[in-house]
Amino acid sequence: MERNIRTHAIVLSVRKYGELHKAVTLLCRDLGMVDAIIYGGRKGKKTALAPLFSVNNALLYLNPVKKEYSLVEAQSTFIPQAIADDLPLTYTASFFCEIIAKAASDEPDEAFDLLSASLERLESSPELRKRITISFIWKLMQISGTAPDLSGCPVCDRNLSDDEVMLFSTSLLTPCCKSCSDSENLILMPGSRRYLRYSMPMELNQAIDIELNPAAENRILSYMLRWAQVFSQTNLRTLKDLSLFLS
């Protein structure tokens, strides 16, 4: 087995590891989720290595005895500045990292590309934070293969008219028609449904650029955050923090 591994890595979380070291959780473009130690990462030059939410050309070392990765080198190609200086942006980025870690799949390259593009857009267009969040969640569902095309009910296959409201099936984790639904907590209004269908085939940044009035934006965002909570099938720690900034 190769012990030195070069990879592209996004830093999803950073924590202390003993008095002198740091531990990071990385999303690697080819390896998926990796926990790694930065030895000596809490003093000297190494404190600046691989900051939170950065995108890096990384060198990992796999210790064959301890079966443990350490991060030896990291050249950052993206370092967040605006995100790090602003609480709502930090919470938004933390939410992206938490949900992508829960959704991580066997083919992490698409998740990697989505997360790095979303963080870069958040950094360059902080005023579009809500639209970036909506598009990020919607694309994540698409790459995980769980996004229905919303033209019909995925449970009974009936075609839906353009002005029909969709409710939700909590057993199948999908929006569906009224008669197939078992929950009225997630109501997808016709306008929101139209927007999601329209943006579905688009590239991330193209989808983000679709203009929405503030009321529609809030309605779709609130729907997507609740759907994301159901989709991840676990309690998202960051969602509560994020919700504080949405009203």
R_g of the chain, CA atoms, integer Å: 20
Pick the closest to residue 119 from 181, 208, 32 (CA basis): 208
User: Counting contacts by CB under 5 A, is residue 166 touching Zn ion?
Assistant: no
Cβ proximity to Zn ion, 52 vs 153, nearer residue: 153
Cβ proximity to Zn ion, 180 vs 188, nearer residue: 180
Residue 156: CB minimum distance to Zn ion, A: 3
Q: Which long-range contacts (CB under 8 A, 24 or more apart) does 233-240 make?
A: 233/102, 233/173, 234/102, 236/95, 236/98, 236/99, 236/102, 237/98, 238/91, 238/94, 238/95, 238/97, 238/98, 238/99, 239/95
- DSSP letter (8 states) at residue 46: G
Interacting positions 168-187 with Zn ion (CB under 5 A): 177, 180
Residue 153: CB minimum distance to Zn ion, A: 3
Residue 189: CB minimum distance to Zn ion, A: 17
* Torsion of Cα atoms, 47 then 53 then 56 then 60, to 10°: 70
User: Counting contacts by CB under 5 A, is residue 165 touching Zn ion?
Assistant: no
Give dist(CA 192, CA 188) in Å, integer: 6
Residue 180: CB minimum distance to Zn ion, A: 3
User: Counting contacts by CB under 5 A, is residue 155 touching Zn ion?
Assistant: yes
Residue 152: CB minimum distance to Zn ion, A: 8
Question: Encoding tokens for residue 200?
Answer: 């579905």
Cβ proximity to Zn ion, 153 vs 239, nearer residue: 153
Using CB under 5 A, which of 48, 82, 87, 156 touches Zn ion? 156
Cβ proximity to Zn ion, 63 vs 170, nearer residue: 170
Chain positions contacting Zn ion, by CB under 5 A? 153, 155-156, 177, 180
